[in-house]
Amino acid sequence: MSTNVTSADTSVHPPRPYQSYTYAYPHKTAYRELASESRPAPRLADLWAGESRQALSLYLHIPFCEVRCGFCNLFTRIGAPDGLTGRYLDALQRQAAAVREALGDARPPRFANAAFGGGTPTFLEAAELERLCDIAEREMGVDLRAVPLSVEASPSTATADRLAVLAERGATRLSLGVQSFVEEEARAAVRPQHRSDVEAALTRIREAAVPVLNIDLIYGIDGQTAASWRYSLDAALAWRPEEIYLYPLYIRPLTGLGRHTDPQAADRDWDGQRLRRYREGRDHLLSHGYEQVSMRMFRRSDAPPQGPDDYACQTDGMIGLGCGARSYTSRLHYSFDYAVSMREIRGIIDDYTTTEDFSHALHGRWVDEDEARRRHLLQSLLQAEGLPVAEYRLRFASDPYEDFPVELDLLAARGWLDSDRADRLRLSAEGLAHSDAIGPDFFSPAVRDAMAAYETK
């Protein structure tokens, strides 16, 4: 059976390497309002009625930051007027109660992992973080001390009292957005911070004894050189973090950098610079005992495992709480409305905090079997371990080479597929380097059209 319909570039010449970070498929810009004149918004109880609940992810979204970095297009606002965080947690609790009611008691959910993201979850004060954990445990029924719990933080909000709460409530991973240990580069990325503050935050995190520390770094910043990039890498390595993420800088519409730079004007020289920094960073981390998990993620070879063996992001569902969170069932991906501009985000957050009825899905995209194939392949192929072909055949009763012949032949022609394993579709080292060009090649025409028609706001 072939489901292949593609608009992929059929030339063997490599496309531009930095097109789209495919961390989820379909992207939120392909979501649309679900209610129409002929069809009401779907009820959560109906959406989850036939779904497996044996290995769910729970994601709680906190859309507040003390400052918005120049490259950031995440759903977040700067600061919170008096009482807003409390009103937001009130709404989060109402939403959690509605979701738990929709799931019912006949088949209680089993959660495989949990995460607090944003924004900056540690923007919340210590007592508010306690309440956030209570919502996850008392409303959703997840034992945070029994599953991996990942939390994102910034240097200025990683305070001792907040970290103590997270450690006591079961956090197993703390991800710190550093981006650069060079102050001039941080300023160039519109992320004002002092090296001393970053080091102090890292000290507090290690003292809190959260098992896994992740440090985020960015390459491609204006003024960054091979030497300054190595400086940041070595400064991160000095803390022996269990994980390091290396992100290429993107300049997107309506972001701080995007307001002063044409996001479409990236040139080949910048592409080449980012590829060089990526390869330098990759090789440096590999030489220091790290294993590559994906284009962005590197894990220390002796780091404790994160996540149960029976969880698979390609097939298991996600429950997202908060106005920037996504939820996934096998048939529908849904969320609240999406925006980038501060004005629009503030309005969506205000609407969320006054919402009483959370029993329906409002914005999203239905996922048919063709889209499920694409999602499964993407979420496997873009990992260093690749896609077990037998696993794909078992789920879809078809072969990935038959479903996506043009795309996979093109990857092979470019030398981006590892040809050593017939039983596993796996990218070569150069293929991993071009993950942000490979992902979009597998988007369906319908998703491409929806993303192209989306009006950024």
One-character DSSP codes across 295-314: SSEEEETTPPP-S-TT--TT
Q: Can you give the pLDDT at residue 134? A: 98
Q: Can you give the pLDDT at residue 101? A: 95
All domains of the chain, ordered by start, with CATH? 44-300 (3.80.30.20), 369-453 (1.10.10.920)
**H or E element in which residue 451 lies:** helix 445-453
How many CB atoms sit inside 10 A of residue 91's CB?
Answer: 21
Tokens of 260: 């002063």
Q: Can you give the pLDDT at residue 105? A: 83
Per the CB < 8 A criterion, the answer to whether 72 and 216 are in contact is no
Asked, as a colleague might, if the bond just before 347 is cis with ω within 30 of 0, I would say no
Q: Is 9 exposed, middle or buried (0-12, 13-18, 19+ CB in 10 A)?
A: middle
The pTM of the full predicted model, rounded to 2 decimals, is 0.91
Tokens of 234: 């070595």
Query: Which residue in 452, 427, 423 sits closest to 439, CA to CA?
Result: 427
- For the chain, list residues with pLDDT below 50: 1-10, 70-71, 253-260, 310-311
- Structure-derived torsion over alpha carbons of residues 395, 401, 405, 411, reported in degrees to the nearest 10: 110
Query: Which residue in 421, 440, 387 sits closest to 8, CA to CA?
Result: 440
Q: Can you give the pLDDT at residue 257? A: 43
Could you tell me what percentage of the chain is helix, strand and coil, using 3-state DSSP and rounding each to the nearest 5?
40, 15, 45
Q: Can you give the pLDDT at residue 314? A: 67
How many CB atoms sit inside 10 A of residue 165's CB?
Answer: 21
Tokens of 372: 């499920």
Tokens of 182: 């060079």
Asked, as a colleague might, if the bond just before 26 is cis with ω within 30 of 0, I would say yes
Q: Is 81 exposed, middle or buried (0-12, 13-18, 19+ CB in 10 A)?
A: exposed
The terminus-to-terminus CA distance of the chain in angstroms comes to 40
Q: Helices 195-208 and 160-169 sit at what angle, rounded to 10 degrees?
A: 30
CA 178, 212, 283: angle at the middle one, nearest 5?
65
